[in-house]
Structure 1
Amino acid sequence: MTIRAVDEAPLNKFHRKLTWACAGGPFLDGYLLSIIGVALVGMSKELHLSTGDESLIGAAALVGIFVGGLFFGALTDKLGREAMYTIDLAVLVGGSILSVFANETWQLVLLRFVLGMAIGADYPIATSLLAEWVPNKHRGRLLGILILAWYVGAAAAYVIGYAMAEIGGTGTWRWMLASGAVLSAVILLLRIGTPESPLWLVNKGRTADAQKAIKKALDRTVSIDDLLAASADEQAVEQSGFRDLFRGAYLRRTLFCGLFYMCQITPMFALYTFGPTILGSFGLGEGNVSNLGSGLISVVFVLGCIPALRLVDRVGRRPVIVWSFALMVVPLAVLGGGSALPVAVVVACFCAYALFSGGPTVLEWTYPNELFPTSVRATAGGVATSISRIGAAAGTYLLPISLDRLGIGTTMLIGAGITVLGWLVSFAWAEETRGRTLAETSALPGSGRSVAAGGERSDALRKSGL
């Protein structure tokens, strides 16, 4: 089922505002996950934290993201995108404020876990809402923009943390945590008033509400009769649930989305840790200045995403992800040479990896939203996020051990091996979804809703205004 009034609408102020509002979640993810690293320096001194305490505080948010994505994605498919879209931001505001008053390790761990759950919930909520509102030909680029916000948020955290530490010293760690509440409140205000997804409303049989939402957002009128027909079309499709993601034809898509996401993000987290060491060669790796160096790392990854944003809608999803993973292997393999490599080669490899990683990065949320129907779209996005965080948590925990016992060269070769797995998964399972409606991209082969069937249906829908 497709709503032509939405699918073929020209980009307007609503689409731009919705994109920025949805990008607020990834921005806060990058910010909140990074600001804690800056704040831990002063926090450890004041609260006398042990190394184990620091590890628990640092890992709590990642565990929370895993739980939040897994649970709240499914809840979003049942309750709707609009309500959850603002609730999770309210939790971020409250959790950040309470963090300012924490004086015990367990309090910080609990609050970081709650913040992680809200962040993990926002990924499937915001991405499914945006995917169901944006015009078909711009969907890949606009969904890809959301991941850029993560790196911008991380860079902002390091810059703001650096400035606070310079002005007030490491004792300003509580103000660093409070800054997350301010940013969350700003994004929450930006989200207020966003209409519900018309696809979700039609899927639930709420055609009158869908008509009002389209009129409010796009100033386009679709008749109730046409929406009733669309609703009947949607209800004719088997309504899938959480379990359906792990059986039958959807299992392959679930594994693809989760595994390529995990294979992309695991080495990336490792390079984030390795990055300050590289920058240390230029005098940017010691003391508070290292926060600026870490911010520069985020900027490099942002630059890598920019060309990919244009290519996913021009060249296609499949060639971008397959070729990107193949090219990402090369710099990691070269870094396998270890510390004996010249600094210029190490820096060049780091920049090349950042550039090539843009393809899988911008598709992290595009594929889950395109390959699954309305009834489980947010659920699938949440599952993919949860699977990816297994790799992120494992990489963060195991990297120091690997560096200590195996050395930097072997560690980078392990990263190359993980990236090869990402290439194999993408080569075997990546589907091409460029230029197709959500109804067509989410249809299973042989389901009667294939591209060909979609093309026949499009003629009828054009006559009905959908």
Structure 2
Amino acid sequence: MPTPAAPRPREGSGLAPSLDAAPLRPFHLRITATTFGANFSDGYALGMIGAVLTTLTDARHLSGVWQGLLGASALIGLFFGSIVLGRVGDIIGRQKLYIYNFVLITVASALQFWAHDPAVLFALRVLIGFGLGADYAVGPTMLSEFAPRRLRGLLLGSLTVLWTVGYVLAGILGTWLGGTEHAAYVLLATGALPAALVLLLRIGTPESPSWLVSQGRTREAREIAARYLKCELGEVRVPASPATSASAYRELFAPGQSRRTWFGLVFYSAQVLPYFAIYTFMPTILLALDVADADLQNLLLNLFLLAGGVCGLWFLQRTGRRPLVIATFAIMTVSLALVGALTHASTTALMIPFLVYTFVMAGASNLTQVYPAELYPTHLRATGVGFLNGTSRIASAVGTFVLPVSLESLGLNWSMYWLAGVLLLGTAASVAWAPETKGEVTTSGG
């Protein structure tokens, strides 16, 4: 059983009584900025391949299989990085992965400039995804464990907005500047620039006090809390013994935790599968829809992505997690089903449900940064977040690989119907299993 390991906060110490009660400090902004930068880099890397894939296909005469593999490459890496390194983050700590994963991302991103062989480009993008997978596990985990409770939802939800900014910027640059093969490779390599900046800003980041407490290193945790956050730890609990890797994964599905894990798995996978599939092949979809001025429509959709992400933060702060996830899944399901039903209608009639889906999906995606971190206690948090991120990337990779085949064999309308079916599954799982976790995360105990 956990045992108390901390006295009450000292009278007259000048420190806030706990991490959750700490005032907003410059260090909070630093952790937030570097985690934001990581999400921007992720969105930029994933958005850029979709933006230049048409150019590379024409220049390199890529088959449908290679298009699918390149579109899914970073997602495949994200799966392995999240699953493997998420557990590593619970064993060795958050801080080392938080820094060193961006060394890999920066180098692999720059090398894309010379990766004219599709197999080499695929391998580099898998490595980029592997590094980003580590960050999906430890980035939100670090931020959730440092951030005061009253700001945690806003800060974690904002990660998706910055992801969307990177994704949209990549889409705009790729659409308007990536018309030649040389330009496409230059644009892919520019992903090294934000990654290098994130790496520099992360140097000197301390270890998470919550992780230190979970390892029985309470004195170090107190020193970090006092030095960087000007606060005490409050009441802390030290686990009797750290979980092994095998027991940690079993614990994800243990009684009392399994329902949350199954919900997180279905919720995250159902949300991102249609998103990545549709937006990786958006130029192809708009071409199949035969819409007037496809580039302008693509820009409009990207702007709705940004607007939806920002507006979603308002709802995230003011509503519970459970009603928000149920409502957004239901709206997205109906919207994509209408896109399928209206594939032969006018451009205006078709784009309205598409824009609604885009706007709501961008806002709902904020939950993918918030919910996973709130589903697990400290000693399981990086493992759980990494597991959910990893499994969701299997779904994303499958959707990204299958959609071009589906468009060819089933047509656009039935492709939209089965994607709406994925969202319907997410709706049902949310109604049955979604917990209300707003305010639950504890930063100073198990």
Report the TM range for the smaller structure's normalisation: 0.7 to 0.9
Residue 50 of structure 2 is matched in structure 1 by 37
Counting only pairs closer than 5 Å after superposition, residues 47-66 of structure 1 correspond to structure 2 as 49-66=62-79
Higher helix share: 1
- Give how far 1:22 is off: 0.6
Q: Structure 1 residues 268-277 or 342-351, which shifts more?
A: 268-277
- Give how far 1:404 is off: 2.6
- Give how far 1:237 is off: 8.7
Contact 1:338 1:408 in 2 (8 A): no
Q: Structure 1 residues 387-396 or 402-411, which shifts more?
A: 402-411
Superposition TM-score, scaled by structure 2 size: 0.87
Residue 174 of structure 1 is matched in structure 2 by 185
AA at the equivalent of 2:86: G
Give the secondary-structure state (helix, strand or coil) at the position aligned to 1:120.
helix
- Give how far 1:18 is off: 1.5
Gapped runs of 5+ residues in structure 1?
444-466
1:148 and 2:161 correspond = yes
Percent identity, aligned pairs only, is 36
Deviations 1:386-416 (A, max 9, x none): 1211221121122222223322222222222
Residue 320 of structure 2 is matched in structure 1 by 316
AA at the equivalent of 2:251: D
Give the secondary-structure state (helix, strand or coil) at the position aligned to 2:435.
coil
Counterpart-to-counterpart distance in 1, 2:300 and 2:125: 25
- Give how far 1:373 is off: 1.2
Residue 256 of structure 1 is matched in structure 2 by 263
Counterpart-to-counterpart distance in 2, 1:37 and 1:84: 28
Counterpart-to-counterpart distance in 1, 2:116 and 2:152: 45
Residue 12 of structure 2 is matched in structure 1 by none
Deviations 1:215-262 (A, max 9, x none): 232233x3xxx77x62xx231598461221133332221111111111
Counterpart-to-counterpart distance in 2, 1:40 and 1:327: 30
- Give how far 1:295 is off: 5.1
Counterpart-to-counterpart distance in 1, 2:61 and 2:291: 32
Counting only pairs closer than 5 Å after superposition, residues 102-251 of structure 1 correspond to structure 2 as 102-162=115-175, 164-165=177-178, 169-220=180-231, 222=232, 230=236, 233-236=237-240, 239=243, 241-251=248-258
Superposition TM-score, scaled by structure 1 size: 0.84
Residue 279 of structure 2 is matched in structure 1 by 272
Give the secondary-structure state (helix, strand or coil) at the position aligned to 2:191.
helix
Q: Structure 1 residues 240-249 or 328-337, which shifts more?
A: 240-249
1:16 and 2:29 correspond = yes
- Give how far 1:177 is off: 2.5
Residue 384 of structure 1 is matched in structure 2 by 388
Counterpart-to-counterpart distance in 2, 1:235 and 1:402: 49
Give the secondary-structure state (helix, strand or coil) at the position aligned to 2:190.
helix
Give the secondary-structure state (helix, strand or coil) at the position aligned to 1:75.
helix
Counterpart-to-counterpart distance in 2, 1:88 and 1:386: 16
Closer, same or farther in 2 for the Cα pair 1:408/1:38, shift >3 Å?
closer
Counterpart-to-counterpart distance in 1, 2:340 and 2:292: 24
Counterpart-to-counterpart distance in 2, 1:265 and 1:219: 38
Counterpart-to-counterpart distance in 2, 1:293 and 1:375: 46
Counterpart-to-counterpart distance in 2, 1:431 and 1:203: 24
Give the secondary-structure state (helix, strand or coil) at the position aligned to 2:365.
helix
Q: How many residues align?
A: 428
Residue 69 of structure 1 is matched in structure 2 by 82
Counterpart-to-counterpart distance in 1, 2:59 and 2:362: 39
Counterpart-to-counterpart distance in 2, 1:6 and 1:284: 52
Gapped runs of 5+ residues in structure 2?
7-15
Contact 1:43 1:171 in 2 (8 A): no
Closer, same or farther in 2 for the Cα pair 1:187/1:324, shift >3 Å?
same
Counting only pairs closer than 5 Å after superposition, residues 251-400 of structure 1 correspond to structure 2 as 251-272=258-279, 275-276=282-283, 277-278=285-286, 283-285=292-294, 290=295, 294=298, 296-358=300-362, 360-400=364-404
Counterpart-to-counterpart distance in 2, 1:431 and 1:343: 39
- Give how far 1:35 is off: 1.8
Counterpart-to-counterpart distance in 1, 2:61 and 2:360: 41
AA at the equivalent of 1:258: L
